Amino acid sequence: MMKLKIGAINAATPTPLKADGGLDKASAKRLCARWLDIGLDGVFMLGSMGEGMFLPEATRDAFIETALPALKGRMTVFASAADHSRARMIERARRYAKMGADCVVLCLPVNASPARGIADVKAAADACPVPCAYYDVPANTGTALALPEILEILKHKNIKACKDSSGNPLIAQALFRGPGF
């Protein structure tokens, strides 16, 4: 397992799209140049702007394939494998790892029960050959986990990072300080 480098300044990005829903490659290349110019340490693709889960696979792949040659080795590329299906999340995780993403970001499938969602995230992390991150975003997934459930996910040997968008300051504080603060 490779070591994951997470710098101090990481940002999420929207996916630049053409009117037909395909990737706007020229805009994607300009975004990559901009990220490097402003000194980002990492970029989170296909996820937190909300469109990632709903993009066609060809558009998702095109964004990763366009960005990686410009960014690989110069910043950490976090690629979201989020999906409604465990099988597709696993397939995406493996595919993005093979394409060269540094970290695959996983989140609960939409409206999954906590037990099923946790099992799905762990299964995807088990299947992924590169480090993974867990993204807790109940506003998008429809499932709010309690702190012990989040910590259960974070104990997985291949989950190396967490992005908290729960909006719950107590969870954020506990994740930052650790249990028993």
pLDDT tens by residue, 62-78? 999 999 999 988 999 99
Structure tokens at 139: 């506003």
pTM, two decimal places: 0.92
The DSSP 8-state label assigned to residue 166 in this structure reads S
Provide the residue type at 146 as one letter: A
At 172 the three-state DSSP class reads: helix
HSE of 154, CA atoms in CB hemisphere, 13 A: 18
Provide the residue type at 166 as one letter: S
Residue 117 CA, distance from chain mean position: 15
pLDDT in tens, 146-178: 999 999 999 999 999 999 999 999 888 888 775
The residue-averaged pLDDT of 103-107 equals 96
| d(C-alpha 178, C-alpha 159), whole Å | 16
Percent of the chain with pLDDT over 90: 76
